[in-house]
Amino acid sequence: MPEINTLAEAERVMTFCNACRYCEGFCAVFPAMELRRTFAEADLNYLANLCHNCRDCYYACQYAPPHEFALNIPKTFTELRLETYQKLCWPRSMAGVYRSNGLVVSWITIISVLIVSLLTLLFSGPAKVFSTHLGEKAFYTLIPYAAIVPLALILVGLMITGSLIMAYNFWHVTGGKLAQIANLQANRTALMDALRLKYLTGGGYGCNYPGEQFSMARRWLHHFVFYGLMLCFVSTAVAAIYEHFFHHSAPYPFLSWPVILGTTGGVALLIGTSGLFYLKLRMDTIPSSSHVMGMDVSFLALLFLTSLTGLLLMMFRETSAMGTLLMVHLGFVVAFFITMPYGKFIHAIYRYASLLKNAIEQKI
Amino acid sequence: MGIALIDTLNSDRKWDVLVIGGGNAALCAAMTARKAGAIVLLLECAPKHFRGGNSRHTRNLRYMHESANNYLTGPYFEDEFMEDLMRVTDGQTNEALARFTIHQSKNIGEWMSNHGCMFQPAMRGTLHLSRTNAFFLGGGKALINSYYAMADKLGVTILYDAEVLGMEIRHGKFYSATVVSKDVSHRLQAKSVVVASGGFQANLEWLKTYWGDAADNFIIRGTPYDKGTMLQVLLDNGAKPVADPRQCHAIAVDARAPAFDGGIVTRLDSIPFGIVVNKNAKRFYDEGENFWPKRYAIWGRLIAQQPDQIAYSIIDSKSIRLFMPSVFKPIKANSIRELAQRLNIIPAVLEKTVSAFNTSIHHGRFDPLELDSCYTENLTPPKSHWARPIDSPPFFGYSLSPGITFTYMGVAINEKAQIVMEDGTLAPNIFVAGEIMSGNILGQGYLAGLGMTIGTVFGRVAGREAAQYARN
Ligand SMILES: Cc1cc2nc3c(=O)[nH]c(=O)nc-3n(C[C@H](O)[C@H](O)[C@H](O)COP(=O)(O)OP(=O)(O)OC[C@H]3O[C@@H](n4cnc5c(N)ncnc54)[C@H](O)[C@@H]3O)c2cc1C
Ligand code: SF4
Ligand code: SF4
């Protein structure tokens, strides 16, 4: 069976919705659609990435399958997003990684954990790795600070460069002007929309997820993941400041800022990722696309394992398991940063760009 | 068949209240009866995916309210509501029942919210009705989904794929209903019944008795399940009919629309901005007689009276962006001749019609939001407003068919939603709600959002009365 052209299908769906507009209260997609009469590729790429996949418009649609019009926006837009991810990818040659993303992310993770572990064992020797180390700089006796810093800088640098270039690609293909990016007011609106996950509130009642009932569960769990991740980043940044400016090295005491922030973040991530995974197991598959299952699940799994190993490392850092946990955790962290722009995380970049474009064109 | 289903269909079991239908009126009745303590079975002939009748295609309802709220921008008092109703029906209404409906509709949005309805604040697409009509967030299907969830939670037993084919009625009293579920026929007994099975617009054979073969070219905008079987049964058992059986709410829809269930998206709003011709390429009615919201509902009937029940809306590039975007792309051409060829109407005649129209125009100030001063002179039929020459290519054409929204004929009732028989007596335990009785209030004409109002008001009344009868 030939693949139906996702772009043509998205255009068809939007043409129906624009003649109907019953769903305009759910999210930003419909009011944005109403500003248009025809839907070119640029419009559709934008609308698809503005969609938060709350599924409210699927259950509310009198034309959802098995109706002969068979409108399925969440599914269509999910597939179109996947196409935009590939189209806008930098470097171009990496575009394929979004396709069998689950496999790619899994392999990168496995290889990353193996390499970090091998290098650690090679340079520090098994005896050192499998024994107990106490006190300040305990971690660095196994993996030298001088190795971690450049590695971190390179990884973060690559991640930011990749994300920025792709964000620029998105802005460009959806017809945005560079100067508009600096629009402060629009950025404020977009930021608030993103931080509150306004468009997962479905006009005040939540998502139709995992099934037909309205629920805020997904929104809350996403908050756990997002703010959990933020706390972990802040924890790392604070630790870097301690290290760099105060020459006060990890591991830090349990009642220090890096540990408190990191632990809270890590626990939030565990709750958020496992909750989202649980919902995914129970979700109605008709408004979903099987093409992104691997991408979604591998991202959740990687986040979950990174947090879990981080927390275990914190708990068992004064035992002989520390060395093993450190290698494995670091392996996961490295894999996480490498795959960030080439997996599910990229949705955050395009979503923000879409929210910004939306704020500009609706002049909120 | 599951245990639960066998128990539900058990012919020895006697329900308090049977509700026949699965749209807005039926759900309001079922929830109300259940809350009043009755054991209720709701029978919906559609499968679950298509549940909700025409109600799943709706968007808003109108109700009396004395102050603004989160989703209504200002008050809508009884007198204004009544005036609106009298105007559109031209007096074809039971005034006492009409006033009763308006009274009972007061603040009905609160009741709806308490039963799961979600409303949305006024937005771009809803502004012109934002004071009088409350819009359902996500439209009628979302409303219906919430109602089904609530009915289920309240303990109403719900059966899909359950078509009621007959009712055992003796001397105006209901005893049982025959329902076909999964190809097996069952007889279900109940103390009282609420019939909320909609109009008969999906029954083309029935429509043909009034319209002849013309009905073959009708498009039914809503559910294919509203065949009027229950209406026929009630009439056969001596219920008194109301409203003209030929009357139906009919608008112009794109001729490419599916035969049933195309809903809101197939309508076309291009008519006031161009001309409309029939298959002989001749105009037949004033396209700019009044504002479109006041006139759109006459065009179904107008087209139904044309040969082969087909017409063509012709506009030029000046007007293509002036109306709600259409779901089907217009036929496009660079000359009137080519357009006629592509629409399959006689080119020479269309050219003549267009040029006669163009040359008769009095050029005023064009304003789509006003009854403007662009009209034709010495042209029959005239075009009274928004007449601009059709001369800027590309030209666009849409083929139009009559799209039937609902029929008007129903059964006569009193303020307890009880059926009035031909001989003036009342059926003791048969209550009706929704489209099947809206002819009492809307004898003709239409007021946007009133269908759902009538269904909600009388659904609640019927549910309450049926439960009360069952418990005594
Ligand atoms: C496209 C469209 C848009 C509309 N928009 C609006 C609007 O915005 N506002 C408004 O007020 N009105 C609107 N209307 C009119 C509105 O749909 C009706 O007035 C209203 O839905 C009637 O409700 P009801 O419950 O009586 O009938 P329906 O909702 O049609 O329900 C009838 C039910 O009975 C079931 N049924 C029929 N026969 C049987 C049987 N023999 N056995 C078992 N079940 C049976 C059907 O399956 C159906 O579930 C619109 C109509 C259409 C077609
Ligand atoms: S999803 Fe369906 S109900 Fe919602 S706007 Fe589109 S066509 Fe209308
Ligand atoms: S799935 Fe949700 S966010 Fe996406 S278009 Fe539909 S209602 Fe909007």
CB of A53 within 6 A of ligand 3: the answer is: yes
CB of A11 within 6 A of ligand 3: the answer is: no
- The CA–CA distances, whole Å, from B21 to A327, B40, B472 equal 65, 13, 24
What is the tens place of the pLDDT at every residue in A2-44?
A: 356 999 999 999 999 999 999 999 999 999 999 999 999 999 9
The answer to whether the peptide bond before residue A91 is cis (omega within 30 degrees of 0) is: yes
Contact A37 B321 (CB under 8 A): yes
Give the ligand at the shortest distance from the Cα of A208.
Answer: 3
CB of B201 within 6 A of ligand 1: the answer is: no
Under 8 Å between Cβ of B150 and B69:
no
CA B36 to chain centre: 29
Question: Helices A346-362 and A41-50: crossing angle, nearest 10°?
Answer: 110
| Residue of chain B whose Cα is closest to the Cα of A64 | B49
Indicate which of A14, A17, A22, A34 best probes the interface with B, i.e. most B CBs within 10 Å of its own CB: A22
Q: Is the pLDDT of residue A194 over 60?
A: yes
Under 8 Å between Cβ of B194 and B26:
yes
Give the per-residue pLDDT at B126.
66
The pLDDT mean for chain A works out to 95
The CA distance from A266 to the nearest CA of chain B, in Å, is 37
Q: Is the pLDDT of residue A1 over 50?
A: no
Q: Which residues in A lie closer than 8 A to residue B258 (C-beta atoms)?
A: 68
Which structure tokens are listed for A104?
């790619």
For B381, residues 6+ apart whose C-beta sits below 8 A from its C-beta are B283, B284, B285, B286
Question: Helices A293-315 and A322-339: crossing angle, nearest 10°?
Answer: 150
| Residue A131: pLDDT band with limits 50, 70, 90 | very high
- Block residue for tokens 């007007």: B319
Reduced to 3 states (helix: H, G, I; strand: E, B; else coil), residue B126 is helix
Tell me how crowded residue A246 is: count the other CB atoms within 10 A of its CB. Answer: 8
- CB-closest option in B139, B321, B325 to A22: B139
- Block residue for tokens 């229950």: B230
The answer to whether the peptide bond before residue A66 is cis (omega within 30 degrees of 0) is: yes
| Residue of chain B whose Cα is closest to the Cα of A59 | B142
- The CA–CA distances, whole Å, from A230 to A224, B28, B413 equal 10, 48, 64
B223 CA to centre of ligand 1 in angstroms: 7
Give the per-residue pLDDT at B1.
55
- Block residue for tokens 């009198």: A62
Enter the pTM of the model.
0.96
Q: Which of B58, B132, B136, B163 to mutate to test the pocket of ligand 1 (most atoms within 8 A of CB)?
A: B58
Pairing of β A207-208 and β B157-159: unpaired
Give the per-residue pLDDT at A211.
96
User: Phi, psi at residue B283, to the nearest 5°?
Assistant: -75, 160
Give chain B's domains with CATH numbers. 3-202+223-245+409-471 (3.50.50.60), 250-403 (3.90.700.10)
Give the ligand at the shortest distance from the Cα of A67.
Answer: 2
Q: Which residues in B lie closer than 8 A to residue A286 (C-beta atoms)?
A: none
- Intra-chain end-to-end CA distance of chain A, in Å: 45
Tell me how crowded residue B404 is: count the other CB atoms within 10 A of its CB. Answer: 27
Give the ligand at the shortest distance from the Cα of B57.
Answer: 1
Tell me whether A34 touches chain B (CB under 8 Å): yes
Sign of CA pseudo-dihedral B452, B457, B460, B465 = negative
For ligand 2, atom 3, the nearest C-alpha belongs to A61
Which structure tokens are listed for B179?
């329902």
Supply the ipTM of this predicted assembly: 0.96
Give the per-residue pLDDT at B125.
64
- CB-closest option in A18, A66, A203 to B325: A18
Cα–Cα distance for residue pair B52/B151, rounded to 1 Å: 13
Tell me how crowded residue B41 is: count the other CB atoms within 10 A of its CB. Answer: 24
Contact B139 A24 (CB under 8 A): no
Tell me whether A284 touches chain B (CB under 8 Å): no
Q: Which residues of B touch A (CB under 8 A)?
A: 49-50, 56-57, 59, 118, 120-121, 123-126, 135-142, 145, 149, 258, 261, 263-265, 321, 324-327
Q: Is the pLDDT of residue A132 over 70?
A: yes
Q: Please give chain B's pLDDT, 472 residues, in tens.
A: 567 787 888 888 899 999 999 999 999 999 999 999 999 999 999 999 999 999 999 999 999 999 999 999 999 999 999 999 999 999 899 999 999 999 999 999 999 999 999 999 877 666 679 999 999 999 999 999 999 999 999 999 999 999 999 999 999 999 999 999 989 999 999 999 999 999 999 999 999 999 999 999 999 999 999 999 999 999 999 999 999 999 899 999 999 999 999 999 999 999 999 999 999 999 999 999 999 988 999 999 999 999 999 999 999 999 999 999 999 999 999 999 999 999 999 999 999 999 999 999 999 999 999 999 999 999 999 999 999 999 999 999 999 999 999 999 999 999 999 999 999 999 999 999 999 999 999 998 899 999 999 999 999 999 999 999 999 8
Cα–Cα distance for residue pair B75/B107, rounded to 1 Å: 11
Give the per-residue pLDDT at A315.
95
Per-residue DSSP letter, B240: P
Cα–Cα distance for residue pair B147/B112, rounded to 1 Å: 9
Cα–Cα distance for residue pair A50/A44, rounded to 1 Å: 10
Cα–Cα distance for residue pair B21/B42, rounded to 1 Å: 7
- Sorted by where each begins, the domain ranges of chain A are 6-87, 96-361
Q: Which of A21, A24, A47 to mutate to test the pocket of ligand 2 (most atoms within 8 A of CB)?
A: A21
Contact B137 A20 (CB under 8 A): no
Which structure tokens are listed for B226?
């509203």
Q: Which numbered atom of ligand 1 lies nearest the CA of B56? A: 29
Under 8 Å between Cβ of B174 and B195:
no
